[in-house]
Structure 1
Amino acid sequence: MENNKQNQTEVKNFYGGIYFDRCQLTDVTFQTLVQGDMRMRPDEEKEGEKGEEAEAVKEEASAASAPLPEALCTPLAEALLARLVGAGLLDEGWQPLSLTGAEKGVLASLLAGRLNIDTPWQTFGRLWGVKPETLRSACNKGMEQRRTGAFMRRVVEVMEGEAPGGNA
């Protein structure tokens, strides 16, 4: 009986809509055919997680539990953190708040310059759960964007203790 169950074909239907850029398909049905018993036991599911989502979750978890780099534990770093938290750019744990990848890269570069950090991509990549090369590429991409100049001015004003758009 068990062997017969493994050879059965199971039909799964998924109902919903698909949305593309300026195109919508409604009432679409996808059908998959699964032969045999493809279910995993709960302990296998944890071991079997694959892909970038699982890797990103692992990186974020390790970033949250990792100790702060020495360069971020100085009085200057703590003063910068307080200003950046007040401006809504970082939280108290040095984590970016609602920043794009390009903005994160630029912020990492500016912080590294201010705090004399020789390895900004590794330092902030580890801290933020982002691959160092991704962070570096995002910074380079950000430097090509027109709006980056305004973001950089805002960050510099905050780091220097000035109110953005005015004098303190």
Structure 2
Amino acid sequence: MKSFNIFLVLFVLLAGCKENNPQNQTAASESTASESQYFGSVFDAEGALSGDKVVMALSELQTPDSLTVSFTGKVTDVCQMKGCWIKVSLDEGEEIRVTFKDYGFFVPKDITGKEVTLHGTGFIEELSVEDQRHFAKDGGASEEEIQKITSPKVTYSFVADGVLLNE
């Protein structure tokens, strides 16, 4: 019995020493780097609205109304601390600030200028001076720009449960 236990321990140790081949893992991740990538929940991006249609739909909302929708737009700003929020252009200078449901996922910090399709809930919100300054700081604004924020602002906001980075 004692020799069986020794054999079992040696077998487990040798099995644990199996060579891990990270080259295969790297090759697999490189092959998908040029494909679209989801963050958060996977959703059907077919039929996503354009920015101008989202502006029309959101402009009809009254606080505390909300609208569940998918839409596509270009990222104009990203939280440089964690990637915990983004700003997306909608139409003719309009932007929407996007956070992620339950702080459950983040996006890469280097996606400014890239197209994304988002799914979640849009609404109109009044941002306090404190919140605006916090977001400006996270976005990398200078202290001078941050101090220029002096009044609350009514904005379009969106809580995304899924983001598709269109590569």
Structure 1-normalised TM-score? 0.26
Larger relative contact order (C-alpha < 8 A, sep ≥ 6)? 2
Structure 2-normalised TM-score? 0.26
Which of the pair is proportionally richer in strand?
2
Which of the pair is proportionally richer in helix?
1
